[in-house]
Structure 1
Amino acid sequence: MKKIIKSPEDCDDAELKSFEELVTDGGEVALAGLRQRIQHAEKLVFINDGKCVAIGAIKNPNAGYKARVFEKSGAREQGRYEYEIGWLYVSESARGKGYGRALMESIIHTLSGKACFATTREDNDSMHHLFNRFGFSKIGQPYSSDNGDYSLVLYAKP
């Protein structure tokens, strides 16, 4: 397993395309403007095992998006959280092999104690477990997603 952590501007087009394809495979994000949002991220994380099998990002959320997430969840103190953890995805064929944990370890190490938040589906028990394991706490209440018929939960790590 090889972990690669890069700024988007340091990625070549093939890496950005691979990252975008895995985000798209996850099926839970708005596809319009996705490449631009990826290029605006702070860091992209790739886990390679012969090929790219897992991805994640430390995102620089725009102020409007962050305000909506915190408002919808009823959570406070959005200003405490500079970064968002997102686009965490392990390809279906690679699940159950510790790649999710490896992503989170890389991301938490890269953040060096900086506060961050993340959202996940209310029914995604694997992500809830990972967030809890890495010191995140649920804040606010579940809220309806704009990208599908499901609810999201907001997590934060001070």
Structure 2
Amino acid sequence: MEHITIAKLNELDEIVRIDAEVIGDESRRTYIKKAIEEGGCLVAKVNRSIVGFLVYNTHFFECSFISLVVVKPSERRKGYAKSLIKYFENISPTEKIFSSTNQSNERMHRVFLSLGYSKSGFIDNLDEGDPEIIYFKQLKK
């Protein structure tokens, strides 16, 4: 059974290993470390091992923005991304939540849509030929 908590600094290496497994390098180490230090990183654990993480902040027009949802490749399609997002919805400091994913990331589109997020626009020119699709959800608090 999974357990979701706020990440601690002593979990940084394990989180970065998962991220590197997905993107191929540790280039986001400093970004993830800062998120942990600011309390903006959640981890999903199974048997005390981290299987995924979520990074968020409130710098997007003073609204919550989920900037990363990463699940260990061997643990995908088990609902961990949904669980992380649902957990975040319960603790979100704002009533509006935004996130984004590349147009090519069909899995994340399905996750957002299944959780009641709606498309809210797109941004060109981040990844050549693969626009970033913005998602939005209004919480009822």
Write the distance in 2 (CA, Å) between the matches of 1:132 and 1:40.
Answer: 30
Whichever structure has more helix as a proportion of its residues is: 1
Q: Do 2:22 and 2:73's aligned partners in 1 also have CA atoms closer than 8 Å? A: no
Query: Equivalent residue for 1:131?
Result: 112
Query: Equivalent residue for 2:15?
Result: 19
CA distance 1:34–1:154, shift in 2 (3 Å): same
The TM-score, its normalising length taken from structure 1, stands at 0.70
Cα distance per residue 1:18-77 (max 9 Å; x no partner): 22332333329963732454235443221112321111123233xxxx4xxxxxxxxxxx
Write the distance in 2 (CA, Å) between the matches of 1:30 and 1:57.
Answer: 15
Query: Equivalent residue for 1:31?
Result: 28
CA distance 1:24–1:106, shift in 2 (3 Å): same
**Offset, 1:98:** 1.6
The TM-score, its normalising length taken from structure 2, stands at 0.77
Whichever structure has more strand as a proportion of its residues is: 2
Write the distance in 2 (CA, Å) between the matches of 1:58 and 1:35.
Answer: 10
Of all paired residues, the percent bearing the same amino acid is 19
Query: Equivalent residue for 1:151?
Result: 131
Structure 2 residue runs of 5 or longer lacking an equivalent are: none
Structure 1 residue runs of 5 or longer lacking an equivalent are: 67-78
Query: Equivalent residue for 1:107?
Result: 88
CA distance 1:41–1:124, shift in 2 (3 Å): farther
Higher normalized contact order (CA 8 Å, seq sep 6+, divided by chain length):
1
Write the distance in 1 (CA, Å) between the matches of 2:27 and 2:132.
Answer: 14
